[in-house]
Amino acid sequence: LREQDLAGRHVVISAGGTREALDPVRYLGNRSTGRQGVALAEAAAARGARVSLVAAGVETSLLPRHPRITVTAVESATELAAEVRAAGSDADAIVMAAAVADYRPAGRLGHKLKKQASAATRGIELVENPDILASLVAERPVAGQVIVGFAAETGDEAGSVLDHGRAKARRKGADLLAVNEVGTARGFGDVPNSVTILDATGDVLATASGSKADVAHALLDAVSVRFPTA
């Protein structure tokens, strides 16, 4: 199957974690390193795809170098949305592996916030970022385009990782949702990953664990079988 099964396909992948600026030196961010998204880009390119990798806050040394991978570096969710939309307009698949901030500071200060006027005493006003994945699903720019989301979950009193994943799959409506448990030594960083791949109804299609490359290939298998055959 694998070989060059993605030859001629254009795959857009978002990776990393967005950074929402508070002032010129500070941002609100998250622990995503971008490794899973980078592994997806490399795996897709190895299988013949042309890849647009939209990398949010990914360390330069982690970025892939491959003739079929175009990397665009971004910071905020707003920038990421614009780049994913632009690249996605002719894409066969869009994989939203990036951890996107749900909120951003209401205003970005032009100067460094002074300690005396710090957020500790003032509070930080936040506004909601649009859900990029949900709007891609709603707009679906290309017929037959496969749209994939990620859900980093932790289990809690309200339910297991898979319970939360299933609910999210139905809510987001992406064709595929890769659910992974995050927390201590799982999910984020240079560690093995383990995901459950759900369809839009929340049904389990596959599970994959191992290196981030193994997980990437398993997810691309699930994408590849959804492509209409010529």
Looking at the annotation, which residues are catalytic?
Answer: 30
Question: Which member of 56, 132, 215, 216 binds ligand C5P (CB under 6 A)?
Answer: 132
Q: Quick one: 12 or 133, whose CB is closer to ligand C5P? A: 133
Reduced to 3 states, what is the DSSP secondary structure of residue 149? strand
- 58-77: contacts with ligand C5P (CB under 6 A): 77
Nearest to 178, CA basis, from 151, 216, 206, 210: 151
Work out whether 179 is an interface residue with ligand C5P (CB under 6 A).
no
Backbone angles phi, psi at 147, to 5 degrees: -115, 125
Could you count the other beta carbons within 10 Å of the beta carbon of residue 107? Answer: 12
Q: Which stretch binds ligand C5P (CB under 6 A): 25-33, 36-44, 147-155, 182-190?
A: 147-155
C-alpha distance across the termini of the chain, in Å: 16
178 within 8 A of 150, measured Cβ to Cβ: yes
Work out whether 151 is an interface residue with ligand C5P (CB under 6 A).
yes
- 89-118: contacts with ligand C5P (CB under 6 A): 96, 98, 100, 102
Give the Å distances, CA to CA, from 189 to 37, 54, 150, 222.
Answer: 12, 18, 15, 24
Work out whether 133 is an interface residue with ligand C5P (CB under 6 A).
yes
Query: Which residues of the chain form contacts with ligand C5P (CB under 6 A)?
Result: 77, 96, 98, 100, 102, 129, 131-133, 149-151
Binding residues for CTP: 102, 112, 130-133, 150, 168, 172
